[in-house]
Chain A
Amino acid sequence: MAELKLFRTWSSTFALRVVWALNLKGIQYDTIFEDLSNKSSLLLQYNPIYKKVPVLVHNGKPLVESLLILEYIDETWKQTPLLPEDPSERATARFWAKFGDDKVLLSVWNVFIKQGKDKEEAIVTAQENLGFVERQLTGKKFFNGETIGFVDLAFGWLANLPSVWEEICGVTLIDHEKFPMLSEWIQNFAGAPIIKESWPPRDKLITKYQALHEVYTSKEAPK
């Protein structure tokens, strides 16, 4: 029986991608929860360059970087495929996942932590990026079509974190009028059983991000 261990934290949405992928494919694994302020020696051994979660260890061999781990899982366990078969559809899926991590995430986070004029500019950038993402849902329930796939897992954080951040900083970024398809995707994705059962507790997330918000906004406050 293959030995599979996942190093994660209670809140990391990058680690959640791996949880979802393994659960969707019905794969058994052990979980090790890390405290990032006190990283275990095992974590540092398995991920010496980035020292981050998630790390998936399969038969003693470590894999890091959540999207790469998803590709590994998809290539190793063929049931419930995450990526489509057609090469150009695969390239498209990889493109949007990368856009999400490289641009969308940071732009939405900036809306959360910036103030004043910077915040206004951050909102414009975030909404431009979200516009590109919204259009990818045209005629589809999920980014992958009828079922959850690679891009849905990559954007999973959108179905959870922005609403936490919006509650804390009082800005509604993903409103139903501007982003009707994305709003509906959020409902569908967040409500899917495999996804719903693994969300971190919302009250804990609010506490965590409230504290972070205070740190960032006190730094940025005008003198």
Chain B
Amino acid sequence: MAKNDVKVLGAWPSPYVMRPRIALNIKSVNYEFLEETFGSKSELLLQSNPVHKKIPVLIHGDKPICESMIIVEYIDEVWTSGPSILPSDPYDRAIQRFWAAYVDEKWFAAMRGLRSAQGEERKAFLDQVTEGLALLEEAFGKCSKGKAFFGGDRIGLLDIAFGSFLGWLKVTEKVNGVKLLDEAKTPGLVKWAERFCADAAVKNVMPETEKLLEFSKVLAAKMKGAPPPKN
């Protein structure tokens, strides 16, 4: 397939943008990565995602597809000759989708809360994050059935959904001086994280922790300087 038939609009620090890139790598699909400039939105982005105006957007031919996990499922359904990202059994698919939604709606929401919280509020978010990781450790045991990934022998939907947050997880550990993934409490996830980050489909799109840490400082400064939100 010609490279310019498939484009991903995104930015290197975004975990959401990593997801379609990992999926395309799994399927060995060449694509053009169009990087948005931090702080502004291109015409192409505004046209392709008029509802949310957010990255990532996959542009396949002339069709834009939005929402990172919807894009991943689209990629799995279109490029059927590559390895499958979702399992074939409907119940296993439901479990993967359930945990992927949990990671986005509950767990990462708590991680984001941690970023700017202070005192008691910060402790509450930290507890939520840790409890979530305990649940995900248990889910890993059930989904992987002793194999390397949530998806089995190969990276699947839930690996992509959760693994894309590993860069920001490491930044959060450094900034807060805590260990979130811990050999004692989450041994399965510790080993899984190493395998995920080293995987061929992931390693070139996973940002280095140091670079992400620098970026998080730029982001924090920008958020401090931003006008107060409208109530």
**Residues of A bordering B, CB below 8 Å:** 49, 58, 61, 63-65, 68-69, 71-72, 75-76, 87-88, 90-91, 94-95, 98-99, 132
A95 with B98: CB separation less than 8 A: no
Docked complex: B50-87 residues within 8 A CB-CB of A: 51, 60, 63, 65-67, 70-71, 73-74, 77-78
State A99–B101 Cα separation when bound (angstroms). Answer: 14
In the complex, besides A63-B94, A87-B77, 4 extra interface pairs with C-beta distance below 8 angstroms are: A65-B101, A72-B93, A91-B73, A95-B70
On chain B, the residues within 8 Å of A69 by CB distance are 94
B70 with A98: CB separation less than 8 A: yes
Chain B residue at minimum C-beta to C-beta distance from A48: B135
29 contacts between A and B (CB under 8 A): A49-B102, A58-B91, A63-B91, A63-B94, A65-B98, A65-B101, A68-B97, A68-B98, A68-B101, A69-B94, A71-B93, A71-B94, A72-B90, A72-B91, A72-B93, A72-B94, A87-B77, A87-B78, A88-B60, A88-B63, A88-B65, A88-B74, A90-B74, A91-B65, A91-B74, A94-B70, A95-B67, A98-B67, A132-B51
Count A/B pairs, Cβ under 8 Å: 51
Closest-CB distance, A201 to chain B (whole angstroms): 32
A64 with B90: CB separation less than 8 A: no
State A71–B66 Cα separation when bound (angstroms). Answer: 19
State A91–B51 Cα separation when bound (angstroms). Answer: 15
On chain A, the residues within 8 Å of B106 by CB distance are 49
State A87–B71 Cα separation when bound (angstroms). Answer: 10
Chain B residue at minimum C-beta to C-beta distance from A132: B51
**Residues of B bordering A, CB below 8 Å:** 51, 60, 63, 65-67, 70-71, 73-74, 77-78, 90-91, 93-94, 97-98, 101-102, 106, 135
State A61–B78 Cα separation when bound (angstroms). Answer: 30
State A66–B73 Cα separation when bound (angstroms). Answer: 18
Interface of A is mostly: helix
Closest-CB distance, A87 to chain B (whole angstroms): 4
On chain B, the residues within 8 Å of A58 by CB distance are 91
On chain A, the residues within 8 Å of B70 by CB distance are 91, 94-95, 98
Chain A residue at minimum C-beta to C-beta distance from B80: A87
B74 with A49: CB separation less than 8 A: no
A75 with B51: CB separation less than 8 A: no
On chain A, the residues within 8 Å of B78 by CB distance are 87
On chain A, the residues within 8 Å of B93 by CB distance are 71-72, 75
Chain B residue at minimum C-beta to C-beta distance from A129: B51
A99 with B98: CB separation less than 8 A: no
B91 with A94: CB separation less than 8 A: no
A71 with B77: CB separation less than 8 A: no
B73 with A94: CB separation less than 8 A: yes
On chain B, the residues within 8 Å of A91 by CB distance are 65, 70-71, 73-74
Closest-CB distance, B74 to chain A (whole angstroms): 4
On chain B, the residues within 8 Å of A49 by CB distance are 102, 106, 135
State A65–B97 Cα separation when bound (angstroms). Answer: 10
Chain B residue at minimum C-beta to C-beta distance from A59: B91
Chain A residue at minimum C-beta to C-beta distance from B94: A72
Closest-CB distance, A142 to chain B (whole angstroms): 20
State A69–B93 Cα separation when bound (angstroms). Answer: 11
The listed residue (B66, B77, B91, B101) touching A61 by CB distance below 8 A is B91
On chain A, the residues within 8 Å of B77 by CB distance are 87, 90
On chain A, the residues within 8 Å of B60 by CB distance are 88
Chain A residue at minimum C-beta to C-beta distance from B91: A61
On chain B, the residues within 8 Å of A94 by CB distance are 67, 70, 73
B94 with A68: CB separation less than 8 A: yes
State A58–B66 Cα separation when bound (angstroms). Answer: 32
Chain B residue at minimum C-beta to C-beta distance from A76: B90
State A109–B24 Cα separation when bound (angstroms). Answer: 38
On chain B, the residues within 8 Å of A65 by CB distance are 98, 101
On chain B, the residues within 8 Å of A132 by CB distance are 51
B94 with A87: CB separation less than 8 A: no
On chain B, the residues within 8 Å of A76 by CB distance are 90
On chain B, the residues within 8 Å of A88 by CB distance are 60, 63, 65, 74
Closest-CB distance, A40 to chain B (whole angstroms): 21
B98 with A64: CB separation less than 8 A: yes
Chain A residue at minimum C-beta to C-beta distance from B90: A75
On chain B, the residues within 8 Å of A64 by CB distance are 98
